[in-house]
Amino acid sequence: MSSIESIETLLVDLPTIRPHKLSMTTMACQTLVLVRMRHSDGIEGLGEGTTIGGLSYGPESPESIKRNIDSYLAPLLIGQPSANLNALRARLQRHARGNAIAKSALETALLDAQGKRLGLSVAELLGGARQEHLPVLWTLASGDTHKDIDEAFQRLDDRRHCDFKLKIGANAVADDVRHVAAIKAALGERASVRVDVNQAWDEASAVRGIAALQDAGIELIEQPVAACHHAALIRLASRFQVPMLADEAVQDAHDGFALAAGGFSGAYALKIAKAAGPRGALELAHVARAAGIGLYGGTMLEGTIGTAAALHAWATLDDLVWGSEMFGPLLLTDDIVAEPLYYHDFGVDLPRGPGLGVRLDEDKLAYYRRKH
């Protein structure tokens, strides 16, 4: 019986193709936490834990993810049998609170190794892929209206993306609305436009902003108020025709149930990083489906390894009503894998092969890994 022999974590710093402006930070580099999990049968599983902007987005930073895996989570797994993923997942949950992103990286590595061991893809381990090509939108986040319009038309002409999300909330409500409305007017019926406020508004500001965005033809409003303000989010969802997308407010199946029970209608953003792994994200998807709530495949701007893990999970679903945003690798100037994901025809192909279907480029990894 194979057992887990070692778990190595590496910080990998990859520049972005342009500054990526959110309400709480502007990114020019993305840091990935890469997990290499080696087993006694010679198999290596790969995982990735990724957050946004250090500690500006959430309670886990790249450095804390690495430190907590090395000091607390890896010792819980090393020496344990490799194949019983349920037991290993339960062991992590029992002995370590929180740390969802770190746990997601470890679960991904376990799934990758088990898939390689059995000759099955991660999607097959999760029940089987129901789609092999998943839609992917693009986030326009330069902060410059004309640059965003040019970028959108270029993506349309290249048949790379036909749905766009705008990151807003860092500016005054009226300024953000003007920015979004101008982009929607320029794109017309060629593309749908959504916005992500990243929790930046209070409820009164949200009422003003959403009313104007709805009039401008925006199709979805993501997390307009703070994650803890469930009641406000429910009121906004009831007040407007344009749907609300809950992201930070719904981390896992427990949050999904509570929000639905409170009367929320709209959509949930699934993220493997929020839900401590692909299976936790699918548990949330099942709650949403039972409650009649739409689904959206969200990203933490992961690199190829984390993106592939999410794609294997999303591929098992047939009802991603709002598509996905698994464009993380396209935001980076380079990659650490031998073969990049294949983006075309407004989406991305599910990677083929056992496990995640992804192999490392050791030279690129050596170049981009943090040395100190």
Show which residues are catalytic.
Answer: 167, 325
Structure tokens at 251: 């981390």
How many whole angstroms separate alpha carbon 266 and alpha carbon 225?
Answer: 15
Residue 126 DSSP label? T
Exposure on the CB side of residue 362, measured as CA atoms within 13 A? 1
3-class SS of residue 118? helix
What are the C-alpha distances in Å from 41 to residues 109, 187, 312? Answer: 15, 54, 24
User: How far is 351 from 200, CA to CA, in rounded Å?
Assistant: 36
Confirm if 101 and 300 have CB atoms less than 8 A apart.
Answer: yes
- Give 222's strand partners: 196, 245
Handedness of CA 275, 333, 312, 295 (dihedral sign): positive
Q: Which two tokens stand for residue 183?
A: 């982009």
Structure tokens at 118: 């059995």
Instruction: Specify the residue for token string 């992917």.
Output: 136
**Integer Cα distance of 75 and 355 in angstroms:** 24
3-state secondary structure of 276: coil
Specify whether the CB–CB gap between 365 and 34 falls below 8 A.
yes
